[in-house]
Amino acid sequence: MENVVFEEFNEGRFEIPGITIQFKEIPWSKHPTFEGVELKHIVTSKETGGAYSFHLVRIAPGKSILDHIHDPQLETHEVVAGKGTCINDGHKIEYIP
């Protein structure tokens, strides 16, 4: 069931006035640093002058995005399938859909 939910999300779209981006039209890219992590670059910080970015992220079982920061951007995670753990500023957060 979790894969079905993720695949339905993967068929979604991002819309802002005058722009519609279909997720299914964007290929998955291997993360340049984190093994087992793939991204769909929906909107990049380059396109928004550094204001924000939006990506779909797929993390293979047993893999991690490790410790990193996107200064000055805020990073938000929405888990749509699977489970994991996030450590944010020393606090453990369980990731579940």
Task: Quote the pLDDT of residue 89.
Answer: 82
Band of pLDDT at residue 2, cut at 50, 70 and 90:
low
Task: List residues bridging with 59 in a β-sheet.
Answer: 37
Contacts 24+ apart (CB under 8 A), 86-92: none
Q: Is 58 helix (H, G, I), strand (E, B) or coil?
A: strand
Amino acid at the residue 58? R
pLDDT tens column, 65-88:
877 777 777 777 778 788 888 888
52 within 8 A of 43, measured Cβ to Cβ: yes
pLDDT given at position 22: 93
CA-wise closest residue to 54 among 35, 73, 69: 73
Please tell me the predicted confidence (pLDDT) of residue 29: 93
Show the tokens assigned to 59. 């993390």
Write out the residue range of the structural domain in which residue 16 sits: 2-95
- Has residue 14 got a pLDDT over 60? yes
What domain count does the chain have?
1
Residue 2, SS3?
helix
Q: What is the pLDDT of residues 21-68, one digit of tens each?
A: 999 999 999 999 989 999 888 888 888 888 888 888 888 888 888 777
Burial class (CB in 10 A: 0-12, 13-18, 19+), 87: exposed
Residue 1's pLDDT is what? 56
